[in-house]
Structure 1
């Protein structure tokens, strides 16, 4: 990341301040400005997408890669910044902020370049460790997410009792092969396991909730269903495993939406 934009400048406005973007105004909107820049640079963006209700607010391009969503660039409200974001199968793979329109980054995303290639073309683009893991495949993303989850709980365990007991469950669950191959995530001090690596996650696997009395309750797969209560983390993990659906895992790319009938 090469820019020094402040956090306050990074919020996408509801209505763009036209005085910050005279080039967009003179071009009749974001699409016109992008198309003009693309023509000058010899880029191919295909049909530029805009919000018809506010053509000055944002613009995007479709990707030629089936699993990549349309990539969008939005505008800063307090300073002139263009914010870049690209998602694939429920995971944000690229982000960043630039002073120009980001046309090269949009073309790179549209053409299906790798994350490293997109960064090479547009150095302002940020690619995180988790995005790189997702690019390598679901197994890499799952392994990294487990490591990050356990490390985060360890950092909080000294000051938060719930974190300490969540850590007990997480460390034990990671030793169970049937759970280790699922994507873990925490929500409202409960530990979940997902059969998909993208958000929104499906809720088709039991999960563990630490209780204030020191025990655990296992729900599953919905919060309204209680599989049982456990005195120890070992018992809680065993309850989760006993409630796993048939042929569960390993986690695959995609989101809960991919499991819903069309």
Structure 2
């Protein structure tokens, strides 16, 4: 990274110091320890913004979080704009307001769903819509189709890790439930519970039933 891209840091030392100058004193700011001097975090109880420096050109890279879920990103060379966009989101601006005021931000359907409190439902719809297309979902397609019709399962947030499906209570930074589903070659599914016991189940109906029993337990 060329330090000459960021003369503000040469003058003030850290991005945190620059943001403290640009924003109101009551804006809660901190620094991530992973890259000292080159990032700043604005934290509110239900939303936050991470701002880091671009490494290949002058860019301020923004990540927007809502109730623990990463919902949008943004990128601009304008330091003041980056600071003001971060301040607005942390202060409670809506996704529509952010899109209008700051065109360099990308608040899409996922962000709007989370804003409405519909992040879990949105994720199930996405999994179901792409179950026969996305490489990591195709082996799980039959399970996703059946699971999406089960209201008790739809109350959990589904996520994939490689070719395995897991669950947690919310779209945000909640711990995983410890229940994992992986397709096996004979058409069945391998289900692992929180105790790490793994059982191969031959059919999708029994798989859904076992997953529900583990989640309810």
SS of aligned partner of 1:79: coil
1:22/1:183 CA distance change after superposition, 3 Å: same
Q: What's the counterpart of residue 151 of structure 2?
A: 177
SS of aligned partner of 2:148: helix
Two-structure CA RMSD over aligned residues (Å): 2.7
Aligned 8 A contact 2:166 2:176 in 1: no
Aligned 8 A contact 1:118 1:125 in 2: yes
Q: Which has the higher contact order (CA 8 A, sep 6+)?
A: 1
SS of aligned partner of 1:153: coil
Count of equivalent residues = 215
Q: What's the counterpart of residue 62 of structure 1?
A: 43
Aligned 8 A contact 1:50 1:58 in 2: yes
Provide the rounded CA distance (Å) in 2 between the counterparts of 1:54 and 1:231.
48
SS of aligned partner of 2:73: strand
Q: What's the counterpart of residue 115 of structure 1?
A: 95
Aligned 8 A contact 1:45 1:61 in 2: no
Q: What's the counterpart of residue 186 of structure 1?
A: 160
Provide the rounded CA distance (Å) in 2 between the counterparts of 1:106 and 1:209.
39
Q: What's the counterpart of residue 132 of structure 1?
A: 112
The equivalences for 1:1-262 within 5 A come to 16-38=1-23, 46=27, 48-50=29-31, 56-63=37-44, 66-69=45-48, 71-101=49-79, 102-137=82-117, 140-156=118-134, 163-204=137-178, 206-222=179-195, 224-226=196-198, 228-245=199-216
Aligned 8 A contact 1:59 1:74 in 2: yes
SS of aligned partner of 2:40: strand
User: What is the CA-CA distance between 1:195 and the residue it aligns to?
Assistant: 2.1
Provide the rounded CA distance (Å) in 2 between the counterparts of 1:20 and 1:119.
27
SS of aligned partner of 2:215: coil
Which one has the largest radius of gyration? Answer: 1
User: What is the CA-CA distance between 1:233 and the residue it aligns to?
Assistant: 1.3
Instruction: Provide the TM-score with structure 2 as the length reference.
Output: 0.84
User: What is the CA-CA distance between 1:134 and the residue it aligns to?
Assistant: 0.9
- Tell me the alpha carbon deviations over residues 80-106 of structure 1, each in whole angstroms, 9 at most, x when there is no partner: 101111223331133110011112112
Is there any run of 5+ residues in structure 1 with no aligned partner, and where?
Answer: 1-15, 247-262
SS of aligned partner of 1:218: strand
Instruction: Provide the TM-score with structure 1 as the length reference.
Output: 0.71
SS of aligned partner of 2:52: strand
User: What is the CA-CA distance between 1:155 and the residue it aligns to?
Assistant: 1.0
Is there any run of 5+ residues in structure 2 with no aligned partner, and where?
Answer: none
